[in-house]
Amino acid sequence: MTWFDESRLDDPVALERFDLRLRTLAESGARVRREVGEAAEAIAEAVARARDADRPRAVVAAGPDSRLLRAVLEPACPVPFVAWPSPALPGWAGGLDLVIVLAPDGGDVRTASAIAEAVRRGCQVVVGCPPASLVAEHAVGRDVTVLPTSTRDQLGMAVAMLSFLDQVQLGPATSPDDVADALDEVATRCAPRRDLAVNPGKALAIALADSTPVVWGGTVLAARAARRVAESLRRATGRTALAGDADVLLPVLEATRPRDVFDDPFADDTGEPRPMLVVLDDGSQDAVVTEQRHLLTAAADERGVRVEVVEATSGSEVARYASLLLSGTYGAEYLRLALVED
């Protein structure tokens, strides 16, 4: 049987045992700075090459790690943008197009195949990957730039790529320092030695302790963060954690039995944990987002479902995304820390 021991969240011995996991989260901002710093020369080379050429006809984000780039670029890219996770490029892609790739570990055969095809077709190619890797071996050509990665941090690599796209006016304004600062701020607020009374990461873990998380973000990036947070919660606990659009999550809330004053405060009549709605708020004032949030919170309130809000309302879109993601991940790791098996 697994139970939640809140005292472990402030127990120096328990925290020391989780030091590596928590230190990895705390170093998120440093990894972004390191990735962008080490790729600075390659970014400048790619920018110079792009400025000497015509604006590409289209941008293709290839490989399985293109989802974050898709979330950022689809609404902002001034030319047609396509996220293409399959190992083959679109049939029309050629010398007029820019292919961008994120390959964190550099060992994916499908990604290497896509890059080799892009080189054969004469595409402009910019790829983030470890310099000594299978992907880098295939990223060789006159119009190819490798953004080297040493930490293999996906967010750091994405920020480096977005910095390049910003400088060639193919993406939104992206300040790596802004993203890194946002991550540092979350790490400070959620630091292990910070008491649970003033630690939002620990507070989120306590709220999630006996609930089934239902995580929602209204914008494209907040929704992406919601899916990543739900993945972290599933990995940390082995329990169910849901994320999705409002029309997917609303039936889950509406199917919850209304709270009764005589109920066990943590379980429904089946003995299963009750859902808890986690709203990732990135400050969007979009009317559709506001309406969807109202529908979800109204359904939760009507059935006595707890609502927790994680906020990141300042900085760039990518900085807000990074802040929401790291805040949720801290909650997941503190939940992992406090769960004890008899």
Contacts of 264 (CB under 8 A, 6+ apart): none
pLDDT of residue 188: 97
pLDDT class of 267 with cuts at 50, 70, 90: low
Structure tokens at 138: 């295939």
pLDDT score recorded for residue 62: 86
pLDDT in tens, 32-54: 999 999 999 999 999 998 888 88
Q: Which fold has domain 30-174?
A: Rossmann fold (3.40.50)
Residue pointed to by tokens 């004469």: 122
Helix, strand, or coil (residue 209): coil
Q: How confident is the model at residue 270 (pLDDT cuts 50, 70, 90)?
A: low
Residue 106 backbone class (left: φ over 0; alpha: ψ -120 to 50; beta: rest): left
Q: How far, in Å, CA of 122 to CA of 184, rounded?
A: 40
Query: Which range (81-85, 120-124, 125-129, 294-298) has the least confidence?
Result: 81-85
Structure tokens at 298: 């109204």
Say yes or no to pLDDT of 141 above 60: yes
Backbone angles phi, psi at 65, to 5 degrees: -100, 25
The domain ranges of the chain are: 2-18+192-341, 30-174
CB-based contacts of 70, cutoff 8 Å, min separation 6: 61, 81, 83
Residue 273 contacts residue 305 (beta carbons within 8 Å): no
Structure token pair of residue 118: 């892009």
Report the C-alpha gap between 160 and 95 in whole angstroms. Answer: 23
Residues 6+ apart with CB under 8 A from 32: 153, 155, 156, 159, 176, 179, 180, 183, 322
- How far apart, in whole angstroms, are the C-alpha atoms of residue 237 and residue 255? 24
d(C-alpha 1, C-alpha 296), whole Å: 32
Q: Which token pair is 48? A: 């110079």
CATH 3.40.50.10490 correct for 2-18+192-341: yes
Q: How far apart are CA 119 and CA 309, in angstroms?
A: 46
What's the Cα-to-Cα distance from 109 to each of 138, 151, 152, rounded to whole Å?
A: 10, 20, 17
What's the pTM?
A: 0.93
pLDDT band at residue 274 under the 50/70/90 scheme: very high
**Residue 30 to residue 177: CA distance in whole angstroms:** 10
Which one is predicted more confidently, 64 or 154?
154
* pLDDT tens figures, 64-88: 778 889 899 988 999 999 988 777 7
- Angle at which helices 176-189 and 28-38 pack, to 10 degrees? 160
Tell me how many degrees the CA angle 166-170-174 measures, rounded to the nearest 5: 25
Strand partners, 340: 3
- Using CB atoms within 10 Å of the CB of residue 231, give its burial: 0 to 12 exposed, 13 to 18 middle, 19+ buried: middle
- CA–CA distance from 8 to each of 12, 327, 337 (Å)? 8, 19, 7
Measured distance between the N- and C-terminal CA atoms of the chain, rounded to whole angstroms? 6
